[in-house]
Amino acid sequence: MFHPRRTLRTLLLPLTAGLALIALPALPAQTAHAASTLTNGGFESDGTGTATPAGWSTYSAAGQNSASFTESGGHGGSYRLTHWSSSAYKVETYQYLSGLTHGTYKLTAWVRSGGGQNAAYIALKNCGSSEQRTDIPVSAGGWVRIVTSVAVTTNQCTISVTSDANAGNWINIDDLTFSPGSTGLSVKGSDVSSLAKSEAKGGVYKNSSGTTGDALAILKSAGQNYARLKVWVNPADGYNTKTRVLAIAKRVKAQGMKLLVDFHYSDTWADPGAQSKPSAWAGHSYSQLKTDVYNHTYDVLNALKAQGTTADMVQVGNEINGGMLWNEGSTDNWPQLAGLLNSGYDAVKAVNSGTTVALHLAKGGDLSGTRWWFDNAVAGGVRFDAIGLSYYGYWHGTLSDFQTTLDDAASRYGKPVFLAETAYPFRLDSDDAHQNIIDTAGELVPGYPASTAGQTQWMKDVASIVEAVPNGRGLGVFYWESTWTAVTGNGWDPADPSSGNGWENQALFGYDDRALPAMAWFSHR
C-alpha cells in the first residue's frame, strides 16, 4: 500500500530524459544550494513529483534520476522523498553543506522500506573523516527513526540517501535533521550463559576462518564489550550457579569485557510464563522471601567483587512482566513485588554502589503493557537505574512498535534503556533432533530471511533503533544466546540431559562451529 502511485510515475517519466542530461557528479561540488544548515529536510517545498527537491541534488550514473522523487504521505508534513523504479536502479539524493564549524554532527531521518535492496542507507561523507552510514531497516508500515554521526574536520559535509535496488524496491525518507551531536552504543553484548556447559560437553568454537579458539576471545575480537550471565539458585544440572558464574566471570573480565549478571531467582527458566520459586525457598513467607532475595543477590555479587570481577550491571529478575517468585511476588500484589525488587536493589548497591540495576521485561513492542508495568513500579517506589526490554521480531511486534516502546520508556521514566535480548535465525533446519523454536519461513520477520545476511541485517537494524533513542538514552544490545550451539547434553532442560536445543539456528556460531557474519554488528558505533 505504500508503493508510489502509478499516476505519479506517469508524471515523472517525461522528466527522465532531461535529468539524464544533467547527471551530477558522485562527489558533490560547490553548488548554489550549499549552506551551513540543512535545507528542506522535510521535503515540503515542492509538492509531489519533484525529482530534485529544493536544496537537494540527485545523481545516478545510469541516468536513473527519476527513481528519486517527492510524493504525498509524509512522516511529519504532507510530503516525503521516495526512491522507487519499476526496473533495477541506483540513485543518490544528496545535499552538500559548507561553512560548518569543526566538530561531531548527527544526522537523523525517519524512514520506511519494503526491503529487498542490495543497499539502502543514509550517510555522512566527504566530511574529512571516514564516511558513516546507517542502513535503512525494513519497515513497510510504520516509520522508524535512524541516526548516524560523523566528525567534520574540513568545514563541509555531504548528507546522502542512497539506494542500490532491484525492480520495485522502495524507500521513504522524511524529516531529516542535521545538528551538532554524536551517536553510538556503549553496550554491545551477548548472553553466554550456556558456554561453560557447552565446553564441558565437548562444544567447540572457531573463528570465521576455522581456527579453534576461546569463544569469548572470538566474540571480543569481533567487537563484543559486554557479557551477560544468568544465575539460577540450585539448578538440576549444577550450571549457572554462583560457582559457575564466578569462573566464567573471570574469563569475561580477562577479555576486557564488562559483566551483566541476570538473576532469575529460580532453579530454572524464569520468563513471563514461569516464575517458579527455587526449591530451597518453597514455603517461605513473603518476609522470608525478601531476605532470600537480598542474601542470594548479595552472596553472588560479593563473591564476584571479592575475586576482582565486580558486576557492572545487574538484572533484578528476568522478564518479570508478571512479577517474580510466584505467587507472593506476582503483579497481582504490587506492594509485595515492589518489596522484593527493592530488596534486590539494596543488595546490589550494598556490594557496589556503582553497579547499574536494571529491570527487565519481555514484549519489547508492547507500549501499553510496558507503561502499565513501570507506572505501577514507580508508583510503588521501586528503585532502578535502567530499563531492559526483550524484543524478538517474530513475537513482539514490528520494529516501529519496538522503537515507540523503547523511546517512551526512556522519556517517561527518565532512564537509560537497552535491548536485553534479541536474536535471529541464520537458517531454519535443526542441527540436532530437537525442533527449533523458529523453523518455518512463515515465522520470520518480513524482509529478513533466515540466512547469514538476514541475521546480520536484523542485528544491525535493531542496534540502529536503540542508537536512535533520544537524548543518548539508548545504551545498547545483548544478543541471546550467542554460544548456545547444538551440543549433546547441553539442551534446554537442566533436569534432562537428553533434552535438545531449539535455538542453535539463532546462535552466533554456525553448524560448522565457525563465527557467523552477524558478529559484525558488534562493531556498530
Phi/psi-derived region of residue 514, left when phi > 0, alpha when psi is between -120 and 50, beta in every other case: beta
Length of the chain: 525
Taking the C-alpha atoms of 189, 194, 197 and 198 in order, what is their torsion angle to the nearest 10 degrees? Answer: -80
Sequence-ordered strand ranges (E) for 15-102: 57-59, 68-72, 79-84, 89-98
Q: Which residue has the cell 535512524?
A: 146
- From the candidates 44, 71, 421, 481, give the one annotated as an active-site residue: 421
Distances (CA, A) of 108 to 39, 71, 160, 183, 385: 14, 20, 12, 10, 27
Is 319 labeled as catalytic in the residue annotation?
Answer: yes
CA distance 74 to 80: 5
CA distance 279 to 301: 21
Amino acid at 77: G
Q: What cell numbers appear for 118 in the block? A: 542490495
Q: Which residue has the cell 533520544?
A: 470
Give how far the C-alpha of residue 499 lies from the chain's centroid of Cα atoms, to the nearest Å: 30
Sequence-ordered strand ranges (E) for 8-78: 57-59, 68-72
- From the candidates 71, 319, 328, 481, give the one annotated as an active-site residue: 319
Is 421 labeled as catalytic in the residue annotation?
Answer: yes
Longest CA–CA span in the chain (Å) reads 82
Catalytic machinery residues: 319, 421
